């Protein structure tokens, strides 16, 4: 955990100072998958969420809880550590809404750490009906986690999911992924259809089901396939911070695999740069949910690798929602030249137009999911 999380005096002092200036000003507390560690996918979700709340900053203190909050943001939002000490500074009596925005953290890997905020606020007096969830990825869970989350879902103002998965028999509202708020239909043009470059972003980890050996094997297969096709690839990571650089790990794996067709690219700085990179590619190959999703935003076909139950749930849900031939789900063992060729061929004009229509509809569903939040804020604002 970064050292600045351990020294919270300055952050909490600013929070207390803001409360003294406006002791009766209502507060919205927002938490999500962006822990402040440079995960671009999580940053897209956070950006879309801040975009919604920006218009409420004149009436509410909007406090964002992160594991690694910025010391100075200057964007009108208050940031606090998502810890017992940080959250203790917030009086639940001032909180009019607790919003869990989208992310894939409601599963057995991170569930208890994330739901701790809900448990704490409700125990200190926040009515459960003033808690809203949007864009959640669900599972896998332990039976105990599933039972608790189902109860939370029943009691909340809204329990919104990014796909149509259910938890312990409870089906939430379909709100899709927060990043859809950043989408515009002009992106979905399949600009890279005539190109020869493949975008590549492979994440390793226990929850991904991909270790270093498998990653090198995948890169070797891709390198051979790309060589046969006369194509090349750009490889980039989605996470970069002072202690961890996913792109650097991928670059070393490319070198270890002896790949000749794959070159490294820096981590894209934001949504616009990511869409620019992906829109120019013939195909994307990834284990990253948001590389896959943003690729589809641009009309670039995607091959996603699923090697764990968690990833099968993630990409199975996305495939069901979008129902597009531009999304191919395979295991690492199935990956090869034929998969790349078939994926590229799926990007015909009719399929791209159909995908664009689906994404426009999903953006509308996401916008509609904000109505219960807006209603509560109007009712409980100053």
Axis crossing angle, helix 212-229 with helix 246-256, rounded to the nearest 10: 70
Domains of the chain by start residue, with CATH: 3-182 (3.40.50), 185-358 (3.40.50.2000)
pLDDT for position 23:
56
pLDDT tens per residue, range 165-187: 899 999 999 999 999 999 999 99
Question: The tokens 């199935």 sit on which residue?
Answer: 334
Over range 14-35, report the average pLDDT: 69
Q: Residue 353 and residue 347: Cα distance in Å, rounded?
A: 10
Residue 115 C-alpha from the chain's centroid: 17
- Cα 162 to Cα 115, 118, 182, 315, distances in angstroms: 18, 20, 15, 11
pLDDT for position 11:
41
Q: Residue 136 and residue 120: Cα distance in Å, rounded?
A: 20
pLDDT tens per residue, range 223-272: 999 999 999 999 999 999 999 999 999 999 999 999 999 999 999 999 99
Q: Reduced to 3 states, what is the DSSP secondary structure of residue 258?
A: coil
Residues composing the chain: 382
Q: Give percent of the chain with pLDDT exceeding 90.
A: 86
Question: Do residues 307 and 204 lie in contact, with contact meaning Cβ atoms separated by under 8 Å?
Answer: no
pLDDT tens per residue, range 293-315: 999 999 999 999 999 999 999 99
Task: Please provide residue 256's backbone torsions phi and psi, each rounded to the nearest 5 degrees.
Answer: -65, -35
pLDDT tens per residue, range 339-371: 999 999 999 999 999 999 999 999 999 999 999
Q: Reduced to 3 states, what is the DSSP secondary structure of residue 357?
A: helix
- Cα 35 to Cα 79, 175, 190, 309, distances in angstroms: 11, 22, 32, 23
Residue 3 C-alpha from the chain's centroid: 25
Question: The tokens 């869409």 sit on which residue?
Answer: 275
CB-based contacts of 68: which residues, under 8 Å, 6+ apart?
1, 2, 4, 5, 35, 36, 37, 81
pLDDT for position 16:
39
Over range 149-172, report the average pLDDT: 95
Cβ–Cβ contacts within 10 Å for residue 114, how many? 18
Task: Please provide residue 169's backbone torsions phi and psi, each rounded to the nearest 5 degrees.
Answer: 85, -5
Ranges of H-type helices in the chain: 3-6, 9-21, 40-53, 84-88, 111-123, 143-155, 212-229, 246-256, 271-279, 289-298, 309-322, 337-345, 349-368, 371-380
Question: Do residues 41 and 238 lie in contact, with contact meaning Cβ atoms separated by under 8 Å?
Answer: yes
Residue 94 has pLDDT above 50, yes or no: yes
Average pLDDT of every residue of the chain:
92
pLDDT for position 12:
39
Task: Report strand pairing: 166-167 vs 170-171.
Answer: antiparallel
């Amino acid at each position: 955990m970064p050292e600045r999380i351990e020294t919270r005096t300055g952050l909490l002092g600013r929070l207390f100072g803001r409360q003294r200036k406006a002791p009766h000003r209502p507060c919205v507390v927002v938490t999500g998958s962006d822990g402040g560690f440079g995960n671009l996918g999580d940053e897209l979700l956070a950006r879309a969420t801040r975009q919604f709340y920006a218009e409420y900053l004149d009436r509410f203190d909007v406090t964002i809880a992160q594991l690694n909050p910025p010391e100075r943001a200057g964007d009108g939002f208050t940031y606090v550590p998502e810890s017992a000490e940080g959250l203790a500074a917030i009086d639940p009596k001032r909180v009019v809404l607790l919003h869990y925005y989208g992310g894939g953290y409601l599963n057995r890997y991170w569930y208890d750490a994330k739901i701790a905020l809900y448990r704490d606020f409700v125990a200190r007096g926040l009515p459960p009906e003033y808690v809203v969830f949007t864009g959640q990825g669900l599972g896998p869970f332990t039976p105990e986690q599933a039972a608790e989350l189902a109860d939370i879902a029943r009691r909340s103002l809204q329990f919104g999911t990014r796909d149509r998965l259910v938890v312990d028999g409870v089906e939430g509202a379909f709100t899709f992924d927060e990043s859809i708020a950043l989408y515009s239909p002009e992106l979905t043009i399949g600009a890279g259809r005539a190109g020869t470059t493949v975008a590549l972003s492979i994440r390793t980890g226990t929850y991904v089901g991909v270790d270093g050996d498998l990653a090198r094997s995948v890169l070797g297969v891709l390198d051979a396939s790309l060589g046969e096709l006369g194509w090349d690839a750009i490889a980039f990571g989605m996470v970069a911070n002072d202690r961890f650089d996913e792109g650097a790990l991928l670059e070393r794996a490319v070198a270890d695999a002896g790949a000749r067709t794959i070159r490294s690219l820096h981590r894209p700085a934001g949504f616009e740069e990511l869409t620019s990179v992906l829109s120019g590619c013939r195909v994307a190959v990834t284990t990253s949910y948001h590389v896959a999703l943003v690729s589809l935003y641009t009309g670039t076909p995607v091959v996603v690798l699923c090697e764990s139950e968690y990833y099968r749930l993630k990409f199975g849900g996305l495939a069901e929602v979008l129902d597009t031939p531009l999304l191919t789900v395979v295991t690492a063992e199935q990956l090869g030249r034929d998969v790349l060729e078939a994926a590229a061929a799926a990007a015909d004009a009719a399929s791209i137009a159909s995908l664009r229509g689906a994404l426009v509809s999903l953006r509308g569903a996401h916008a509609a999911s904000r109505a219960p939040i807006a209603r509560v804020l109007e009712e409980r604002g100053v």
